Amino acid sequence: MKTRISTVALAGIAAAIAITPIAAAAQDSSRTTELYHIFDFKTAVKRGEMIRILQDGINPNISKSNTVTPIVMGPAPETPGRFTLVNPFENSPYAGFISTSQLSTIKQARCDGAVWISSAVRKVRGSQQLMITMCLFPYVQGYQLDVYAIDIKEKGGGLDARLGRALGQAIVGNSDNWTNKTILDVVRYVRSTTGATVTYVEGQPEFTGTPWEDGIQLAPSAADKKTVDTAPAPTGPTPAAGNKEPGQ
């Protein structure tokens, strides 16, 4: 039975590759998407324990990570801090040599006031590179976790690249779904371990419902996939005085 399933899966992969236009597929390209999320944790868990839990929560879904625990003196503030985005090449003489597409991949999340900063990477060879920065900001009622991510998806390439990507998707599924799961599993682990009250503050795109209340699963769930684009949309030109909208 397993042999039959494997044969069918491989046949599907081969068919998908075969129907892809060769000229378009052979061209290497990538698609870069930025996203962010902010979660609030109401809890009395001490700072060191919270940091350990966060690290344990992110490790299962990433390839590597680097963490920093800055010294932040004084009592917790009334309101949490917030990350900002900086361009390290701003006002640099080298700025003109960097393309717009490259600029999005070198932006940095600045986390002044955070007590824990993690830079993590989830890499699926030939398919995806997800770079995540997480910043933990303490305040009197608990903590807020700011998440900023750059999701780079590789497209096209030669037969080897396409075959490797197709096989990877056959095993682990669509990389888009793993992006959300990687973030949500951290929140789920914090909630289940500390008993913290979790509130979603904001994000782009926004999660819908409360997927962090679900248990951690081996593969992305349907709840992981539910997001909505909340970016402001253009309103269009304002009609001149006395003019009617089309159809009126």
Q: What is the pLDDT at residue 242?
A: 59
pLDDT in tens, 42-100: 999 999 999 999 999 999 999 899 999 999 999 999 999 999 998 876 666 555 555 55
* pLDDT at site 2: 45
pLDDT in tens, 113-153: 999 999 999 987 777 889 999 999 999 999 999 999 999 88
Give the Å distances, CA to CA, from 59 to 52, 56, 65, 112, 119: 11, 6, 8, 24, 12
pLDDT of residue 214: 92
Strands (E), 83-223: 84-86, 108-110, 116-124, 128-139, 142-155, 197-204, 206-207
Place of tokens 């371990």: 193
User: In this structure, which long-range contacts are made by residues 10-18, counting pairs with CB atoms below 8 Å and at least 24 apart in sequence?
Assistant: 12/170, 13/163, 13/166, 13/167, 13/170, 16/166, 17/159, 17/162, 17/163, 17/166
In this prediction the pTM is 0.76
Q: How confident is the model at residue 31 (pLDDT cuts 50, 70, 90)?
A: confident
User: One-letter amino acid identity for 218?
Assistant: L
Residue 71, SS3 per DSSP: coil
